[in-house]
Amino acid sequence: MGLFDSKLSEIHNRLHARDISVTDLVDASFARIAEVEERVKAFLTLDEEGARRTAAELDKQLAAGGERGLLFGLPAGLKDNIVTEGLRTTCASRFLGNYDPIYDATVVRKLKDAQSVTIGKLNMDEFAMGGSNENSAFHATRNPWNADYVPGGSSGGSAAAVAAGEVYFALGSDTGGSIRQPAAYCGVVGLKPTYGLVSRFGLVAFASSLDQIGPLTKNVEDAAYVLQAIAGHDERDSTSAQVRIPDYISALTGDVKGLRIAVPKEYFGEGVSSEVKSAVQASLKVFESLGATWEEVSLPHTEYAVATYYLLASSEASSNLARYDGVRYGVRSSDADNLLDVYLNSRSEGFGPEVKRRIMLGTYALSSGYYDAYYLKAQKVRTLIKRDFDQVFENYDLILSPTAPTTAFKLGEQVDDPLTMYLNDILTIPVNLAGIPAISIPCGLASNGLPIGLQLMGRAFDESTVLRAAHAFEQHTDHHKLRPQL
């Protein structure tokens, strides 16, 4: 059993007893990276010098008996669209291949306040657009359970690094399932918080009304700790919610007796594999044995979610990515004789094919004559989808479903079929459109040896109930204890 298989509370007890040091934890992280990274390829940038310097400072504080933060000494990886002062942030795009930010994102500042140690920046689909990590401009990350398969995306590097034991926890971002889907594919826990609960200041924008930062961990308790550290209002993010932050760790009581669970029939339809259905239905029996009840419900506008999402997200992306013109940010084309050529050639050379595809789709949806037919109509359907969730939550505490229709697919299998790739997010996208929290936790292995994810969705800002139910499930199953053999 490695150091990173221990719970956070166990590691802190060992630190407090001087049984281990923060330097030992950082050594363990880099030793594991040296052992498996060539096969996993989860990282884009490592910061060994900075991590060892931070570890030495924290060890001095530990020896002096100073106050310790919530995530004291824990090695962390950050998705490469979260800006870090002086540490390269590329969004896995050649356009930002030379971008060294001059400030920290709010979540990075909060992790520093909680005294974790940043190990490096993690691979992703370019500008968070993709579900397999194959859209990274630099290299594809591989699934630690089977290197022939994708880790999911766009936070595939974050999920793979946690599953492979390279870091203790990671942060990702979730616009249409980009934390939960890779968490399901890699057999780890992935939490997408309520929109507005965690500051987006310093998160490179993809689709601003959908993006949300959240943790990827090996168990639910650790997810609660990380969320506790990063949640809260931020005046530098105009969409940050001013809500009271509850004690998420105290919410992990293990008690779900009387909990009312809704199971939407649309989430078990065409395309969901029989093995995934069986694993999720077995999970319902676990909740039943713990005293929860469940009933089948309907979320009738689910079938429109994928089309709605790709119109809205692509429209917002086309606007957000307009700033990358070769003048202020990132790479500038050397093959330009005038200003228009600078714009055209820098964007042509800097963006990959999936980013270009979504910019063109979004620009078309926002263009004169088509705005009402596409963008405005999509916004109206988004309202209907949110109402579906609101009505279900009038009578139920949670909604339960698979996280993804299938287990991970093979590298290259869907790279030339973007529509099939988009449909992998069909069970996670509605959550982002509604702005509610959801978590993916492991609930079994398929016959191909790959993990299956269980998704629990909650009311807005009710992460406590989501975490409580997920934690109770973990206490009565062993799925989260399974590890890939690298």
Examine residue 154 and say whether the peptide bond preceding it is cis (omega within 30 degrees of 0). yes
Chain-centroid distance, C-alpha 233: 20
Whole-number pLDDT of residue 7: 87
Query: What's the CA gap between 316 and 335, in Å, rounded?
Result: 29
Residues whose CB falls within 8 Å of the CB of residue 276, separated by 6 or more in sequence, listed in order: 402, 404, 405, 406, 407, 446, 452
Low-confidence ranges of the chain (pLDDT < 70): 1, 67
To the query of whether residue 314 is one of the catalytic residues in this protein, the response is: no
Task: Please enumerate in sequence order all residues whose Cβ is within 8 A of that of 455, keeping only pairs 6 or more positions apart, or say none.
Answer: 180, 184, 400, 401, 402, 403, 427, 428, 431, 438, 439, 440
pLDDT of residue 330: 84
Digit-coded pLDDT (tens) for 140-195:
999 999 999 999 999 999 999 999 999 999 999 999 999 999 999 999 999 999 99
Q: Which of 41, 79, 121, 218 is catalytic?
A: 79
pLDDT at res. 218: 97
Position 210: which residue type? L
User: Which H, E and C letters describe 340-353, residue by residue?
Assistant: HHHHHHHHHHHCCH
| Cα 244 to Cα 237: distance, rounded to the nearest angstrom | 17
Identify any residues that bridge with 149 across adjacent strands, giving them in sequence order. 410
Share of the chain above pLDDT 70, in %: 100
Query: Which pLDDT belongs to residue 3?
Result: 81
Identify whether 41 is a catalytic site residue. no
Exactly one of 29, 93, 178, 401 is catalytic; name it: 178
Catalytic residue among 132, 154, 155, 315: 154
Judge whether 9 counts as a catalytic residue.
Answer: no
84-113 pLDDT, tens digit each: 999 999 999 999 999 999 999 999 999 999
Three-state DSSP at 413 gives coil
Indicate whether this model's pTM tops 0.95. yes
Check residue 1 and give its pLDDT.
Answer: 61
